[in-house]
Amino acid sequence: MLLIVKNATIKRSGSDLIITWDNSTKQVSTLDLEIVVIVGGNVNLSSDVINFLSSLNIPVLIHGKKVDTILVTPFINTISEIRKKFYTLDEGSQLLLAKRFIEGKIRGMFNVTKYFSYIDKLEINTEIEVKLKAKDKKSLILEEAELSKQAWEELKKFIPNFQGRKPRGDDPINRAIDYAYSLIYSLSTHAIIAAGLDPYAGLLHVNQPGRLSLVYDFSEMFKPVAIHTVIAVARRSKLSLDSEGYLNKDGLELVTKHLYNILYKRRGKRRTIRGEFYKKANDLKKFVLEAVDFQPFIYKPQAT
């Protein structure tokens, strides 16, 4: 279960959380709680709540207008061998992993494009080659930016009144994408820590104090899931912002519900997409420890 809190106070009562806003109160059990998402800066919670969630290894995501913050407890995971090996990966191995993450993202984005073009009977550019040729990280960053731009040019055709992707933009669609991405970051963080990896040790994203650089690298593969979610919701409902510039309550609930429907939907006899986060984190672990080839997660939309 994912708990979203906005404009409220969070307190603890035994193993439950008590959410209070306006004149309403809600009691939430932590038994099946996976992530706590705080939207905006008007949520109050005590150090007791933070300490309690930390003891349960439940990440707390703070989704802000300019930046997302994820409170995690990596020190709970005592595996150190994998982290030592990850820190000493050679440049070739780092570049290979980064390419696989980006390949998963771009192929997934074009799969989302094909999915909606089939629904709308709209012709799209199918001649774009998703073959990364970069020989260093700087070139890969430029290559990824160009391919993402091409993908968004096609994707925006399926989103009403959308001018294009602008991270932290002040329109409802970009806000919805930012929010959906933040949920992807949370799940990626949980999976990476569960595999014994250091979420702060990045490949493409620059390492900075407190920045979950590996999370941002790893999560690239799963961003098309968030993109599919927002497009689907925006085509069915009108998304709007509240007075603080965040998605309003209905928008948050619609995006969250649709994303989780996709994440938990089993693909034939295979695992759920949520399970793929942990599968790919474990594959990354095998790449580091046993030199087993890492293949990216490539999202293929299904009707929801």
Could you tell me the domains of the chain? 2-58 (3.100.10.20), 81-290 (1.20.120.920)
The percentage of the chain sitting over the pLDDT mark of 90, rounded to a whole number, equals 53
| Model pLDDT for residues 74-95, shown as the tens digit of each residue | 545 556 788 899 999 999 999 9
Q: Is 129 annotated as a binding residue?
A: no
Please indicate whether residue 265 or residue 226 has the higher confidence score (pLDDT).
226
pLDDT at 145 over 60: yes
- Centre a 10 Å sphere on the Cβ of residue 87 and count the other Cβ atoms it contains: 10
pTM of the full predicted structure?
0.87
Please indicate whether residue 71 or residue 166 has the higher confidence score (pLDDT).
166
Q: What confidence score (pLDDT) does residue 35 get?
A: 83
Q: What confidence score (pLDDT) does residue 22 get?
A: 83
> Which amino acid is it at 121?
K
**Is the Cα dihedral 33, 35, 40, 46 positive or negative?**
positive
Q: Is 205 annotated as a binding residue?
A: yes
Q: What confidence score (pLDDT) does residue 267 get?
A: 67
Q: What confidence score (pLDDT) does residue 107 get?
A: 94
CA distance 180 to 5: 15
At residue 18, φ and ψ (nearest 5 deg) are -110, 115
Q: Which long-range contacts (CB under 8 A, 24 or more apart) does 53-56 make?
A: 56/30
List % helix, strand, coil for the chain (3-state, nearest 5).
50, 15, 35
Give 207's DSSP letter: P
The lowest-confidence range among 9-13, 28-32, 300-304 is: 300-304
Please indicate whether residue 253 or residue 124 has the higher confidence score (pLDDT).
253
Q: Is 143 annotated as a binding residue?
A: no
The percentage of the chain sitting over the pLDDT mark of 70, rounded to a whole number, equals 93
* pLDDT bucket at 206, cuts 50 / 70 / 90: confident
Determine contact, residues 19/28, Cβ cutoff 8 Å: yes
Determine contact, residues 74/214, Cβ cutoff 8 Å: no
Taking Cα atoms as reference points, which of 106, 114, 84, 72 lies closest to residue 301?
A: 114
Geometric angle at alpha carbon 37, from 32 and 43, rounded to 5°? 120
At residue 71, φ and ψ (nearest 5 deg) are -90, 115
pLDDT, averaged across the chain? 88
pLDDT at 130 over 90: no
CA distance 291 to 299: 24
